[in-house]
Amino acid sequence: MRSVTLILVVGILVLQWPMWFGKGSWIRVMQIESQLSEQRTVNERLLARNTAMAADVRDLKQGHEAVEERARNELGMVKPGEVFFQVLGRPSGR
């Protein structure tokens, strides 16, 4: 009687082993779900960045205002005959 019980317990353990510790185990499923959640967060951030970049590209292709704005802000360029004034704020020490 004891040997039958022991054989059944060992059989159950052998059948349960892959579910708990195998390739498709519960532990591995939880790890993959965590990785998936992290990747979705990264993808959302990258999608927002790509959308902003696509809007910049569209503006640069379609209108000259965006090109002029970039030239003024990033390169310090001015149009011929234009006067550039730079207004400085108060020193931060006061």
* Residue ranges covered by each domain of the chain: 22-72
* Nearest-angstrom CA–CA distance, 79 and 83: 8
* pLDDT at residue 21 in the model: 77
* pLDDT at residue 93 in the model: 65
The residues, any chain, with a CB within 8 Å of residue 18's CB and separated by 6 or more, are 24, 25
Helices (H) and strands (E) in the chain, counts: 3, 0
pLDDT, tens only, 7-61: 888 888 888 887 777 777 888 889 999 999 999 999 999 999 999 999 988 887 8
Across the range 80-88, mean pLDDT stands at 80
